[in-house]
Amino acid sequence: MYSCKQNYINGQWVDSEGGRAFQSINPATEEACTDVILGTKADVEKAVAAARAAFDANYGMSKDDRLAMLQRIAGEYQKRIPDIAKAISTEMGCPISLSSTAQAGSGMGHFGAAIEAYKGFELVEQVGKNKVLLEPIGVVALITPWNWPMNQICAKVAPALAAGNAVILKPSEETPTSAQIFAEILDAAGVSAGLFNLIQGDGPEVGEALAAHDDIDMVSFTGSTRAGVLVAKAAADSVKRVHQELGGKSPAIVLEGTPLDVALPGVLGGLMMNSGQSCVAPTRILVHESQHDEALKTIAGVMNAKKVGDPMQEGDHIGPVVNRSQFEKIQGLIQDGIDSGATLACGGTGRPDGIEKGFFVKPTCFGNVSNDMRIAREEIFGPVVVVIPYKDDEEAIRIANDTPYGLGAYIAGNPEHANKFVPRLRAGTVYVNSGGLDFNCPFGGYKKSGNGREFGKFGLEEFMEKKSVVGG
């Protein structure tokens, strides 16, 4: 049993003031795995005071000293990757093979990208006879999700600290232990007291208090669109900057005539990785109507062959979804797809055969889906994909853009043909015969997928203010 009963404020592990007990549940066993004390507004007040004092005290830190700090953090992080991976697999069900690589490894990737970006980052730009300064915003609240906990923590903390800010992290209460380990890493790296603070807590109490606080200058939030709207509303009265990376319903367009046995396995790999719990996952596959039935057979073959099992065992299987609420939501959407008349090509409701407990979902595919069905419009956040036929390129583009989201879009097929689609797709990232992230390229969304960008030099810029100096 893990224990996350204290917050990390001003360089010290301290008890919460009035916090309440909570237990994180192992989604594979449905048993408690972590005891947590969820923080309060009083804890937020302490963290904000500590962060404000640390920001002022460290404002003049040199670029070389900031680089050294980031490098120390990366060195300590490397030592704790096995611990981080085990915590992620235990608390959110990601298979240990993926937790040890993509999940925990993403933290190293983001610190490496931030270090390289900061080395070449110009803090002063000459504009004619005048100049523009890039300066830290101040105290920044970082609110992160459970599905890729270290990816999102490090994608925010690394550039925020590099830019010269003091930060307060509120991780998801579903995955508190990896965040606690991260705080231990920064403590071991000798980060100045108050520059980094951690409060364990939930959204309604701690998240809202952070967003609304007058002495917090920016909120960077990753999570659902519903929660992002609440954060923005809470922050509105203080007119602080709100940076959001929210939900997605990404289309994957398979160009007419593209061999399906080449295109679809990669798309499905991106979908099923992390049990479908990725905001940028390609959850709507658009295929030409002449290839629709063949696509269903190919997808069913791939998804039926994907094993589902114990996240603590090595392998390329998928694990459970994060909790009972998410499991029940997915089951309801699968049933809605059946009831709406879509073709169930594989999977369906209930747990996979032979599994009696845990929040495991059958890899599921629906065909003959129209884009107005719930399963085509709502973010399912599980290993569920829909196949939508299209008649021609124009209809494919229309369907791809017919969504409230705009985080990612995928195109499979001839590159010359695919690149004609790129400027017409309303998405923050377009993957052409690819699916991997580049930690040096900007990541973020259009429409209800959020605003602002993360990663590399673009993430650095988000955590800075621009000041014009005219004359002088």
Active site (catalytic) residues? 245, 279
- Alpha-carbon distance of 470 to 142, in angstroms, equals 33
Q: What single DSSP character describes residue 194?
A: T
Tokens of 256: 């007419």
Contacts of 64 (CB under 8 A, 6+ apart): none
**Phi and psi based region of residue 257 (left: phi greater than 0; alpha: psi -120 to 50; beta: remaining):** left
Helix (H) or strand (E) holding 136: strand 130-136
At 101, give phi and psi (nearest 5°): -110, -85
What is the phi/psi pair of residue 8, to 5°?
-110, 105
Length reported for the chain:
472
**In what helix (H) or strand (E) does residue 393 lie, and over which residues does it extend?**
helix 393-401
Q: Which residues on adjacent β-strands are paired with residue 338?
A: none
Integer Cα distance of 387 and 400 in angstroms? 12
Distance in angstroms (rounded) separating the CA atoms of residues 113 and 73: 13
What gap in Å lies between CA 206 and CA 238, rounded to an integer?
Answer: 17
Cα–Cα–Cα angle for 109, 111, 117, nearest 5°?
Answer: 100
Q: Which of 221, 149, 194 is nearest to 14 (CA)?
A: 194
Q: Please tell me what DSSP assigns to residue 99.
A: I
- Describe the strand order of the beta sheet including 282-288 as a list of residue ranges: 343-346, 364-367, 384-390, 282-288, 250-254, 408-412, 429-432
Pairing of strands 196-198, 408-412: unpaired
Nearest to 99 by CA among 178, 200, 181, 169: 178
Residue type, 60: G
CA distance 155 to 439: 9
Contacts of residue 256, defined as CB under 8 A and 6 or more positions apart, other chains included, come to 288, 290, 291, 393, 413
Contact 70, 118 (CB under 8 A): yes
Any idea what DSSP says for residue 424?
A: G
Distances (CA, A) of 287 to 49, 100, 251, 384, 387: 55, 34, 10, 17, 7
Report the C-alpha gap between 262 and 242 in whole angstroms.
41
